[in-house]
Structure 1
Amino acid sequence: MRFALNREEPEAARPNPAPAQTDPEAPAGEEPTAPATEPAGTRDPVVSLAKPVVVDRIELGREPEGVAVSPDNRTIYVADQDSTDVHFVDVESKQLSKVTVPNTPRFLALSADGSRLYVSLFEDNFTGNGLAVIDTAKRELVKTIRTGPRPFEPAVAPDGRVWVPIHNGARVEIYDDKSLTEAARISVPPNPHWIVFTPDGKTAFTANHESSQISVVNVDDLLVRKNFKVGRSPHALAVTPDGSKLVVTNYDVDTLEVYDTGDQRQLHKVRVGKEPQAVMISTDGRHAYVVNEGSDDLSVIDLGNGKVVSTVKVGDSPRVNAISPDGLRLYVTDGRGKTVTVLRTTEK
């Protein structure tokens, strides 16, 4: 998932049209109240497969890029970057609908309760820069916020605010989720692509592609505590569910690196496929799933020993991946293939 846990979220009716996951311990006849914000891996995580299995391919749009999964696992959201469409896909029926945004959609982030979808926008000539806000229940555009040039993968912080890495601005812009206006800025080395939070919400990391550095940001005071060197061209980041490891894909040198989140010492360096783009971690924290755009495959890394344990072919020019909160499915957008590859990541 691409949001951090908000530990103070009230138990309120959620605007997401689909119900929350059921709680097997809830009394009979009672509506389950398990919060949809609970991060994957905290409640009896399923055992992940060392070799995920392709179970479906969904034809979708003209060039699917960003992808996210609803907290109830029932809907996937896909940004089609050769159009102005954001697709909603019902996982069970494969029924499609879409919301049109003002400019080319690139990357996605969901609010913790799934009620809002945040979509970064920009054109190839660096115009049309913005963040579209979509109401997922009404399936309509709420607002478009103008941002700095080339906003990449947004991320939702524990307090609900939206952090947006501004690639051509060497900064992170932070937007208030209530007023939908800019609340703060953080300067980082050139040029940020990706943001992740530790599960406790205290620390954020940004992948700064052109400088080959990761920034360590204190979420409370928004100060950069440290910038540390990694492999060339870090593109995407992920943090294990227990918060102990930070995983980095290095696009130009075909490697994945694993770091200790506390002292940022390197634990593993692994050669993967060509041009690794995005990475997700299984809900049990055992495996990292790396999307390799240049070799049209998925590298699976055992995070215990830092070894590639399998390689799985996906569609043409895979870009971004997202794992369902229940840990059962991994979704990979295949840009030139015009599909979303669906993989089973457990025995279920």
Structure 2
Amino acid sequence: MKDSPSAYYIHCFAHQLQLTLVAIAKKHLDVEDFFDNVSNVLNVVGGSFKRRDLLRDHQAKKLEQLFESGEVQKGQGLHQERGLQRPSDTRWGSHFKTLDSFIVIFSSIVHVLEMIELEGSTSSDRNQAEYLLTKIKTFKFIFVLHLMLKVLAMSNELSMILQKKNQDIVNAVEFLNITKKRLQDMRENGWESLLHDVSSFCDVHDILIPKLDESYFPGKSKRKSSGVSYAHHLCVEVFFVVIDVQLQELNDRFDVVSSDLLLGMGSLNPVNSFCNFDKGKIMTLAKCYPSEFDDGKIRDLSYQLDTFIIHMRSGNPKFSNLQ
């Protein structure tokens, strides 16, 4: 910055995306508590070869039962074995995979915890397993599990694009905008479908579904009401807030200046005869450097760009008069 006052610093987009997840966990206690419980389950269930074998065996038996009942069809490449892998602190997609597996093999996770609760080698192991069962077999935990999986899923494709070595900046910024639009659409139209998915999951796994129109009691208190219904708490204080924080973080961490800079650079990429050329984006890029482009130079640039792209696309490699 001392050498070039006009310089801009753009943080790694993939890491910025990861930081939005960190922000949600830090800014929402329910989400923070949720990830703590998921982490503890991963530690306990994957704590030994015996427990991991128990998890795999239960999955295999469960799948065989589904085959016999006709609920699922056999096929090559289908129904691959799922495991529980600790998510990486620096990879958004790993959190998505962890939560996706958590839902798919939930009954096997519960089975292993129940076995530890009954047959654990120490009282500490048995007590921990009992505690985790009381945490994950609740409507609230399942609600946050499905909510965070949906939020992560909407950004998973963006995450993969941002990690590519041959990253297409124009495509990445476009996917960023698509992700924000999908999150906004989920906020406006996704409540009912999310609630249906959570309720159906709880029905299948014998998890008590609370009466959503009754008062919500925060924490362990069963006496002091929050003054709102359980449905209001889940919708307004969890569903809306989580999505709003995610949208705000995306807007803050991928700000307009960074996007304009990258889109402008992408528009100057000569690949495929300047297929991403966009005069408006290049003009916006130039305006980010007022010390280099005064009003006169901006006007000159506009005329030069019109001439430049015509000559380059007409196959005239000798034209290089763009200053």
Whether TM-score is above 0.5 comes out as no
TM range (shorter): under 0.3
Q: Of the two, which has the highest radius of gyration?
A: 2
Structure in which a larger fraction of residues adopt helix: 2
